[in-house]
Amino acid sequence: MKKLLTFCFLIAIASPSIGFSQSGLTKEEKVQAMYNLNKKIVESKNFNFIATWVFGDDKRSEVAEDANAITINSSTIYGTLSTLDANKPSIMLKGGLENYNVDFNDEAHEIAISFKNDAYSATLEVKPNGIAFLTLNSQNNKTITYKGFVK
């Protein structure tokens, strides 16, 4: 009986440490998994950028995801994004893409996409945590930046 109680006591003490020893993914594994997912999305040459915030000059505003998305495929772009300008509350991006270039930085787990269309030159940067920043430079040198994600 003493042996049985001792055995049960040892099991009770060892059980929590056994459960905690099977932890989830490490931070590096999570970053690598997010990078691999975003790389696969961008390599498809058919993806969406969904904006959650807009930044310009010294103002910023949270925006609705369902109304602030653009689609980029191998040769065209289309979609609508909100602005911070009361006179022009949104911009429509549509048309062909020129100088489309993708740079995968496997070491830093970052993706940089650059392109031009009729009205803007753009840079889309996807960070290791999955957050993406789209910067649009207009022909009259106005810059607007969006924070969001690719899908």
CATH code of the domain containing 33: 2.40.128.410
Q: Is residue 20 part of a domain?
A: no
Half-sphere exposure of 142 (CA within 13 A, CB side): 12
Please write the tens of the pLDDT for every residue from 68-116: 999 999 789 999 999 998 888 999 999 999 999 999 999 999 999 999 9
Is the pLDDT confidence value at 125 over 90? yes
Q: By the 8 A CB rule, do 150 and 47 touch? A: yes
R_g over Cα of the chain? 23
Token pair belonging to 2: 């003493």
Q: Count how many domains the chain has.
A: 1
The pTM (predicted TM-score) of the whole model is 0.82
Q: Is residue 4 part of a domain?
A: no
Is the pLDDT confidence value at 126 over 90? yes
